[in-house]
Amino acid sequence: MSTDLHATQAADTADPWEPARRARAVLAANAAATEERGRPTTESLAAARGVGAFAVTTPARFGGLDADNRTMVRVFAELGAGCPSTSWLAAVSATAKSMFTDWMTADAQKAFYTDPHVSISGTAKPAGHARTVPGGTRITGRWPYASGCLDSPWTMVGAAVLDDEPAGRPHLVLLPTDELTIERTWDGVTGLRGTGSHTLVADDVFVPDAFLMAPPRGPDGTPLPPPEARRAQVALHTVSPLLGAAMGALGVVEPVMTADRPVFGTAYRRRTESPSARRIFADAAHLVRTAEQRTLGVADVLDTAERGHPVSRVEFAHARMQLMAAVQDCRLAVDKLLDLNGSSAFAPGYPLGRFWRDLAVGTRHAAVSPWVAADDYSRVLTDDREDPTTGH
Protein backbone atom coordinates (compact mmCIF):
# COMPACT_ATOMS: atom_id res chain seq x y z
CA MET A 1 0.00 0.00 0.00
CA SER A 2 1.36 3.41 -0.90
CA THR A 3 1.84 6.04 1.80
CA ASP A 4 2.18 9.80 1.81
CA LEU A 5 5.63 9.97 3.36
CA HIS A 6 6.80 11.75 0.20
CA ALA A 7 4.01 14.30 0.15
CA THR A 8 5.78 17.20 1.85
CA GLN A 9 9.46 17.88 1.19
CA ALA A 10 11.53 20.14 3.41
CA ALA A 11 12.88 23.15 1.54
CA ASP A 12 16.51 23.23 0.41
CA THR A 13 17.18 19.70 1.64
CA ALA A 14 18.75 16.95 -0.44
CA ASP A 15 16.01 14.34 -0.55
CA PRO A 16 17.16 10.71 -0.49
CA TRP A 17 13.60 9.40 -0.18
CA GLU A 18 13.22 8.21 -3.77
CA PRO A 19 16.53 6.27 -3.70
CA ALA A 20 15.48 4.82 -0.32
CA ARG A 21 12.23 3.69 -1.88
CA ARG A 22 14.17 1.78 -4.51
CA ALA A 23 16.58 0.36 -1.93
CA ARG A 24 13.63 -0.96 0.09
CA ALA A 25 13.28 -3.88 -2.34
CA VAL A 26 16.92 -4.85 -1.86
CA LEU A 27 16.57 -4.81 1.91
CA ALA A 28 13.33 -6.82 1.73
CA ALA A 29 14.98 -9.45 -0.46
CA ASN A 30 17.78 -9.82 2.09
CA ALA A 31 15.71 -9.46 5.28
CA ALA A 32 15.43 -13.19 5.98
CA ALA A 33 19.17 -13.66 5.52
CA THR A 34 19.85 -10.62 7.71
CA GLU A 35 17.75 -12.12 10.49
CA GLU A 36 19.35 -15.54 10.12
CA ARG A 37 22.95 -14.31 10.20
CA GLY A 38 22.31 -11.73 12.94
CA ARG A 39 23.66 -8.81 10.94
CA PRO A 40 22.76 -7.10 7.67
CA THR A 41 23.94 -8.75 4.48
CA THR A 42 26.60 -7.07 2.39
CA GLU A 43 23.92 -6.22 -0.18
CA SER A 44 21.66 -4.58 2.41
CA LEU A 45 24.44 -2.47 3.90
CA ALA A 46 25.59 -1.41 0.44
CA ALA A 47 22.05 -0.44 -0.55
CA ALA A 48 21.49 1.56 2.66
CA ARG A 49 24.81 3.33 2.35
CA GLY A 50 24.20 3.94 -1.35
CA VAL A 51 21.12 6.06 -0.60
CA GLY A 52 22.91 7.98 2.15
CA ALA A 53 21.13 6.32 5.09
CA PHE A 54 24.35 6.39 7.10
CA ALA A 55 25.06 9.99 6.09
CA VAL A 56 21.62 11.48 6.75
CA THR A 57 22.77 13.36 9.84
CA THR A 58 26.46 13.65 8.97
CA PRO A 59 27.22 17.40 8.93
CA ALA A 60 27.60 18.91 5.49
CA ARG A 61 31.11 20.09 6.33
CA PHE A 62 32.12 16.42 6.51
CA GLY A 63 30.42 15.52 3.23
CA GLY A 64 27.09 14.36 4.68
CA LEU A 65 23.48 15.15 3.81
CA ASP A 66 22.89 17.09 7.05
CA ALA A 67 19.20 16.40 6.43
CA ASP A 68 16.34 17.65 8.54
CA ASN A 69 14.27 15.40 10.79
CA ARG A 70 11.39 15.03 8.34
CA THR A 71 13.73 13.70 5.68
CA MET A 72 15.32 11.37 8.20
CA VAL A 73 11.94 9.90 9.18
CA ARG A 74 10.95 9.29 5.58
CA VAL A 75 14.23 7.56 4.73
CA PHE A 76 14.33 5.28 7.78
CA ALA A 77 10.63 4.41 7.55
CA GLU A 78 11.04 3.48 3.89
CA LEU A 79 14.06 1.31 4.60
CA GLY A 80 12.33 -0.16 7.64
CA ALA A 81 9.48 -1.30 5.41
CA GLY A 82 12.06 -3.50 3.72
CA CYS A 83 14.18 -4.55 6.71
CA PRO A 84 13.71 -2.96 10.14
CA SER A 85 17.06 -4.32 11.40
CA THR A 86 19.08 -2.61 8.68
CA SER A 87 17.13 0.62 9.07
CA TRP A 88 17.61 0.44 12.85
CA LEU A 89 21.39 0.43 12.47
CA ALA A 90 21.28 3.49 10.22
CA ALA A 91 19.04 5.22 12.77
CA VAL A 92 21.43 4.39 15.62
CA SER A 93 24.28 6.04 13.73
CA ALA A 94 22.07 9.00 12.90
CA THR A 95 21.24 9.48 16.57
CA ALA A 96 24.87 9.43 17.61
CA LYS A 97 25.92 11.89 14.91
CA SER A 98 23.08 14.34 15.41
CA MET A 99 23.40 14.37 19.19
CA PHE A 100 27.11 13.93 19.83
CA THR A 101 29.11 15.46 16.98
CA ASP A 102 29.26 18.73 18.91
CA TRP A 103 30.53 16.82 21.94
CA MET A 104 33.62 15.65 20.04
CA THR A 105 36.91 17.50 19.98
CA ALA A 106 38.17 18.72 16.61
CA ASP A 107 40.71 15.87 16.54
CA ALA A 108 38.03 13.29 17.23
CA GLN A 109 35.77 14.72 14.52
CA LYS A 110 38.62 14.58 12.02
CA ALA A 111 39.34 10.92 12.81
CA PHE A 112 35.69 9.88 12.95
CA TYR A 113 34.46 11.60 9.80
CA THR A 114 37.07 10.33 7.32
CA ASP A 115 34.01 8.67 5.75
CA PRO A 116 30.69 10.58 5.79
CA HIS A 117 28.87 7.22 5.76
CA VAL A 118 30.68 6.00 8.87
CA SER A 119 28.58 3.92 11.26
CA ILE A 120 28.86 3.85 15.03
CA SER A 121 27.58 1.59 17.80
CA GLY A 122 27.52 1.80 21.58
CA THR A 123 25.50 3.37 24.34
CA ALA A 124 25.58 6.55 26.39
CA LYS A 125 24.67 4.60 29.53
CA PRO A 126 27.60 4.89 32.00
CA ALA A 127 27.89 1.13 32.45
CA GLY A 128 31.68 1.21 32.78
CA HIS A 129 34.20 2.91 35.01
CA ALA A 130 37.33 4.88 34.19
CA ARG A 131 40.34 6.41 35.86
CA THR A 132 42.32 9.38 34.69
CA VAL A 133 45.89 8.66 33.60
CA PRO A 134 48.46 10.89 31.87
CA GLY A 135 47.12 11.80 28.43
CA GLY A 136 43.68 10.26 28.83
CA THR A 137 41.67 7.67 30.76
CA ARG A 138 41.57 3.90 31.10
CA ILE A 139 38.12 2.35 30.92
CA THR A 140 36.72 -1.01 31.97
CA GLY A 141 33.16 -2.21 31.63
CA ARG A 142 30.44 -4.08 29.78
CA TRP A 143 27.90 -2.33 27.54
CA PRO A 144 24.98 -4.45 26.31
CA TYR A 145 22.63 -3.71 23.40
CA ALA A 146 25.37 -2.23 21.20
CA SER A 147 23.42 -2.34 17.94
CA GLY A 148 25.65 -2.57 14.89
CA CYS A 149 28.86 -3.40 16.73
CA LEU A 150 29.69 -6.17 14.26
CA ASP A 151 29.86 -3.74 11.34
CA SER A 152 30.69 -0.36 12.90
CA PRO A 153 34.31 0.80 12.99
CA TRP A 154 33.60 3.21 15.87
CA THR A 155 31.99 2.88 19.27
CA MET A 156 30.77 5.39 21.85
CA VAL A 157 30.31 4.24 25.44
CA GLY A 158 29.61 5.82 28.80
CA ALA A 159 31.71 5.41 31.91
CA ALA A 160 31.87 6.96 35.35
CA VAL A 161 35.25 8.58 35.98
CA LEU A 162 35.99 7.52 39.53
CA ASP A 163 39.33 9.09 40.52
CA ASP A 164 38.74 10.41 44.05
CA GLU A 165 34.94 10.56 43.72
CA PRO A 166 33.21 7.37 44.89
CA ALA A 167 30.04 8.13 42.89
CA GLY A 168 31.95 8.94 39.71
CA ARG A 169 31.33 11.54 37.00
CA PRO A 170 29.48 10.25 33.89
CA HIS A 171 31.63 10.56 30.82
CA LEU A 172 31.41 9.54 27.16
CA VAL A 173 34.33 8.24 25.15
CA LEU A 174 34.82 7.56 21.45
CA LEU A 175 37.09 4.72 20.37
CA PRO A 176 37.60 2.19 17.58
CA THR A 177 35.41 -0.88 18.01
CA ASP A 178 38.34 -3.22 17.46
CA GLU A 179 39.80 -2.07 20.78
CA LEU A 180 36.89 -3.78 22.52
CA THR A 181 35.74 -7.37 22.76
CA ILE A 182 32.31 -8.33 21.46
CA GLU A 183 30.40 -10.78 23.63
CA ARG A 184 27.64 -12.38 21.56
CA THR A 185 24.61 -11.89 23.79
CA TRP A 186 22.06 -11.07 21.05
CA ASP A 187 22.03 -14.36 19.14
CA GLY A 188 18.60 -15.97 19.08
CA VAL A 189 16.57 -13.01 20.34
CA THR A 190 12.96 -12.74 19.22
CA GLY A 191 13.09 -9.60 17.10
CA LEU A 192 15.49 -7.15 15.47
CA ARG A 193 17.82 -10.11 15.33
CA GLY A 194 19.69 -8.61 12.41
CA THR A 195 20.92 -5.64 14.45
CA GLY A 196 23.61 -7.71 16.16
CA SER A 197 23.02 -5.81 19.41
CA HIS A 198 25.68 -7.66 21.36
CA THR A 199 27.64 -6.63 24.46
CA LEU A 200 30.86 -4.62 24.21
CA VAL A 201 33.54 -5.36 26.78
CA ALA A 202 36.56 -3.21 27.72
CA ASP A 203 39.36 -4.31 30.01
CA ASP A 204 41.57 -1.37 30.98
CA VAL A 205 41.46 0.20 27.50
CA PHE A 206 43.31 3.50 27.08
CA VAL A 207 41.36 6.43 25.60
CA PRO A 208 43.33 9.59 24.68
CA ASP A 209 42.11 12.93 25.98
CA ALA A 210 41.13 13.97 22.44
CA PHE A 211 38.52 11.20 22.39
CA LEU A 212 36.77 12.15 25.61
CA MET A 213 33.41 13.78 24.91
CA ALA A 214 31.75 16.64 26.78
CA PRO A 215 28.37 18.30 26.17
CA PRO A 216 28.19 21.88 24.93
CA ARG A 217 26.70 24.20 27.52
CA GLY A 218 24.81 27.45 27.51
CA PRO A 219 25.87 30.68 29.24
CA ASP A 220 24.28 29.50 32.49
CA GLY A 221 26.20 26.21 32.37
CA THR A 222 23.23 23.99 31.49
CA PRO A 223 23.63 21.38 28.73
CA LEU A 224 22.33 22.21 25.26
CA PRO A 225 19.74 21.43 23.99
CA PRO A 226 17.29 20.96 26.90
CA PRO A 227 16.80 17.35 28.05
CA GLU A 228 13.21 17.21 26.76
CA ALA A 229 14.47 18.01 23.24
CA ARG A 230 17.16 15.34 23.43
CA ARG A 231 14.69 12.70 24.60
CA ALA A 232 12.24 13.56 21.84
CA GLN A 233 15.02 13.34 19.27
CA VAL A 234 16.20 9.91 20.43
CA ALA A 235 12.60 8.67 20.45
CA LEU A 236 12.07 9.98 16.91
CA HIS A 237 15.11 8.11 15.61
CA THR A 238 13.91 4.97 17.40
CA VAL A 239 10.35 5.12 16.09
CA SER A 240 11.17 5.78 12.42
CA PRO A 241 12.34 2.24 11.50
CA LEU A 242 9.45 0.80 13.55
CA LEU A 243 6.97 2.89 11.59
CA GLY A 244 8.57 1.27 8.56
CA ALA A 245 7.88 -2.19 10.02
CA ALA A 246 4.17 -1.37 10.26
CA MET A 247 4.22 -0.02 6.71
CA GLY A 248 5.92 -3.19 5.53
CA ALA A 249 3.36 -5.37 7.30
CA LEU A 250 0.54 -3.46 5.62
CA GLY A 251 2.21 -4.06 2.26
CA VAL A 252 2.39 -7.80 2.94
CA VAL A 253 -1.30 -8.19 3.79
CA GLU A 254 -2.72 -5.99 1.03
CA PRO A 255 -2.30 -8.65 -1.71
CA VAL A 256 -3.59 -11.31 0.72
CA MET A 257 -6.86 -9.39 0.85
CA THR A 258 -7.44 -9.66 -2.89
CA ALA A 259 -5.87 -13.08 -3.51
CA ASP A 260 -8.21 -15.66 -4.98
CA ARG A 261 -7.92 -17.95 -1.98
CA PRO A 262 -11.01 -19.44 -0.32
CA VAL A 263 -11.41 -18.47 3.33
CA PHE A 264 -11.74 -21.51 5.58
CA GLY A 265 -15.16 -21.95 7.19
CA THR A 266 -16.87 -19.41 4.90
CA ALA A 267 -18.23 -19.11 1.37
CA TYR A 268 -15.80 -16.26 0.60
CA ARG A 269 -13.35 -16.80 -2.26
CA ARG A 270 -11.27 -13.86 -1.13
CA ARG A 271 -11.08 -11.70 1.97
CA THR A 272 -12.35 -8.57 0.24
CA GLU A 273 -15.76 -10.23 -0.06
CA SER A 274 -16.12 -9.91 3.71
CA PRO A 275 -17.29 -6.48 4.96
CA SER A 276 -15.72 -7.25 8.34
CA ALA A 277 -12.36 -8.12 6.79
CA ARG A 278 -12.42 -4.92 4.73
CA ARG A 279 -13.19 -2.92 7.87
CA ILE A 280 -10.34 -4.51 9.82
CA PHE A 281 -7.93 -3.82 6.96
CA ALA A 282 -9.14 -0.23 6.72
CA ASP A 283 -8.67 0.19 10.48
CA ALA A 284 -5.12 -1.15 10.22
CA ALA A 285 -4.31 1.16 7.31
CA HIS A 286 -5.74 4.12 9.21
CA LEU A 287 -3.62 3.31 12.27
CA VAL A 288 -0.45 3.16 10.17
CA ARG A 289 -1.33 6.42 8.47
CA THR A 290 -2.04 8.05 11.84
CA ALA A 291 1.28 6.82 13.21
CA GLU A 292 2.99 8.30 10.16
CA GLN A 293 1.31 11.67 10.67
CA ARG A 294 2.20 11.73 14.36
CA THR A 295 5.84 10.89 13.63
CA LEU A 296 6.21 13.47 10.87
CA GLY A 297 4.55 16.03 13.13
CA VAL A 298 7.21 15.45 15.78
CA ALA A 299 9.90 15.77 13.12
CA ASP A 300 8.44 19.15 12.20
CA VAL A 301 8.54 20.30 15.84
CA LEU A 302 12.22 19.36 16.13
CA ASP A 303 13.02 20.99 12.79
CA THR A 304 11.31 24.16 13.98
CA ALA A 305 13.53 24.18 17.07
CA GLU A 306 16.67 23.52 15.04
CA ARG A 307 15.87 26.50 12.83
CA GLY A 308 16.05 28.68 15.92
CA HIS A 309 12.36 29.12 16.69
CA PRO A 310 11.36 28.84 20.37
CA VAL A 311 9.86 25.52 21.40
CA SER A 312 8.88 25.06 25.05
CA ARG A 313 9.76 22.11 27.25
CA VAL A 314 6.06 21.23 27.31
CA GLU A 315 5.97 21.10 23.52
CA PHE A 316 9.01 18.81 23.40
CA ALA A 317 7.52 16.54 26.05
CA HIS A 318 4.18 16.48 24.21
CA ALA A 319 5.99 15.59 21.00
CA ARG A 320 7.51 12.61 22.76
CA MET A 321 4.04 11.55 23.92
CA GLN A 322 2.92 11.70 20.29
CA LEU A 323 5.64 9.20 19.45
CA MET A 324 4.44 6.89 22.22
CA ALA A 325 0.98 7.04 20.64
CA ALA A 326 2.49 6.29 17.22
CA VAL A 327 4.15 3.19 18.66
CA GLN A 328 0.82 1.97 20.03
CA ASP A 329 -0.84 2.66 16.66
CA CYS A 330 1.77 0.53 14.90
CA ARG A 331 1.41 -2.35 17.34
CA LEU A 332 -2.37 -2.40 17.08
CA ALA A 333 -2.25 -2.14 13.28
CA VAL A 334 0.03 -5.15 12.95
CA ASP A 335 -2.11 -7.17 15.38
CA LYS A 336 -5.10 -6.52 13.14
CA LEU A 337 -3.10 -7.51 10.07
CA LEU A 338 -2.10 -10.77 11.76
CA ASP A 339 -5.77 -11.52 12.43
CA LEU A 340 -6.51 -11.03 8.73
CA ASN A 341 -3.57 -13.07 7.52
CA GLY A 342 -3.89 -15.99 9.92
CA SER A 343 -1.33 -18.26 11.55
CA SER A 344 0.71 -18.69 8.36
CA ALA A 345 2.31 -15.36 9.32
CA PHE A 346 4.40 -17.24 11.86
CA ALA A 347 5.84 -19.73 9.38
CA PRO A 348 9.65 -19.55 8.99
CA GLY A 349 10.71 -16.87 6.53
CA TYR A 350 7.29 -15.21 6.22
CA PRO A 351 7.85 -11.44 6.32
CA LEU A 352 4.71 -10.54 8.29
CA GLY A 353 5.89 -12.57 11.28
CA ARG A 354 9.30 -10.93 11.10
CA PHE A 355 7.77 -7.44 11.05
CA TRP A 356 5.69 -8.38 14.10
CA ARG A 357 8.73 -9.70 15.98
CA ASP A 358 10.85 -6.68 15.12
CA LEU A 359 8.10 -4.31 16.16
CA ALA A 360 7.48 -6.21 19.41
CA VAL A 361 11.13 -5.90 20.44
CA GLY A 362 11.86 -2.44 19.05
CA THR A 363 8.85 -0.81 20.68
CA ARG A 364 10.14 -1.97 24.07
CA HIS A 365 13.31 0.08 23.70
CA ALA A 366 13.93 2.40 26.63
CA ALA A 367 13.64 5.46 24.39
CA VAL A 368 9.97 4.68 23.72
CA SER A 369 8.91 3.53 27.18
CA PRO A 370 5.37 4.97 27.45
CA TRP A 371 5.25 5.17 31.22
CA VAL A 372 8.61 6.95 31.44
CA ALA A 373 7.48 9.44 28.79
CA ALA A 374 4.21 9.97 30.67
CA ASP A 375 6.09 10.63 33.91
CA ASP A 376 8.29 13.20 32.20
CA TYR A 377 5.32 14.86 30.49
CA SER A 378 3.33 15.18 33.70
CA ARG A 379 6.38 16.53 35.51
CA VAL A 380 6.94 19.25 32.91
CA LEU A 381 3.24 20.13 32.80
CA THR A 382 3.13 20.75 36.53
CA ASP A 383 6.47 22.51 36.80
CA ASP A 384 5.41 26.05 37.70
CA ARG A 385 8.98 27.28 37.36
CA GLU A 386 8.77 27.18 33.59
CA ASP A 387 8.36 30.44 31.73
CA PRO A 388 5.61 29.71 29.16
CA THR A 389 7.15 32.18 26.71
CA THR A 390 10.60 30.63 26.67
CA GLY A 391 10.08 27.07 27.88
CA HIS A 392 12.79 27.42 30.55
Other beta carbons within 10 Å of 12: 6
Do 121 and 177 form a contact (C-beta atoms < 8 A)? yes
Note whether 122-213 and 227-381 share their fold.
no
Q: What is the pLDDT of residues 319-331, one digit of tens each?
A: 999 999 999 999 9
Whole-prediction pTM value? 0.91
Mean per-residue pLDDT of the chain: 90
Q: Identify whether the C-beta of residue 76 lies closer than 8 Å to the C-beta of residue 54.
A: no
**Which residue ranges make up each domain of the chain?**
17-103, 122-213, 227-381
Q: How far apart are CA 62 and CA 58, in angstroms?
A: 7
Cβ atoms of 85 and 33 within 8 Å: the answer is: no
What is the reported pLDDT for 128? 87
Contact at 8 Å (CB) between 262 and 268?
yes
Compare 85 and 132 and report the one with higher pLDDT: 85
Q: Cα–Cα distance between 314 and 23 in angstroms, integer?
A: 37
Q: Which fold has domain 227-381?
A: Butyryl-CoA Dehydrogenase, subunit A; domain 3 (1.20.140)
Q: At 155, which amino acid appears?
A: T
Backbone angles phi, psi at 212, to 5 degrees: -85, 145
Neighbours of 10 (CB within 10 A): 17
Q: What is the pLDDT of residues 118-176, one digit of tens each?
A: 999 988 888 888 889 999 999 999 999 999 999 999 999 998 876 655 555 678 999 99
Question: If one looks up domain 122-213 in CATH, what number appears?
Answer: 2.40.110.10
Detail the DSSP E strand segments found in 102-237. 120-133, 136-146, 154-161, 169-176, 181-183, 198-208, 212-213
Q: Is the pLDDT of residue 13 over 60?
A: no
Q: Residue range 347-353: average pLDDT?
A: 94
When the candidates are 3.40.30.10, 1.10.540.10, 3.90.1170.30, 1.10.10.10, the CATH number that belongs to 17-103 is: 1.10.540.10
Whether residue 90 contacts residue 77, with contact meaning beta carbons closer than 8 Å, is answered with no
- Binned at pLDDT 50, 70 and 90, residue 248 comes out as very high
CA-closest candidate to residue 338, choices 322, 355, 323? 355
Residue 245's closest CA among 368, 138, 122, 385? 368
| DSSP annotation of 391 | T
DSSP 350: -
* 183 Cβ neighbours under 8 A, 6+ residues apart: 142, 198, 199, 200, 201
Per residue in 121-143, is it b (16+ CB within 10 Å) or e — as a string? bbbbebbbbbeeeeebbbbebbb
- The phi and psi torsions of 242 (rounded to 5 degrees) equal -75, -35
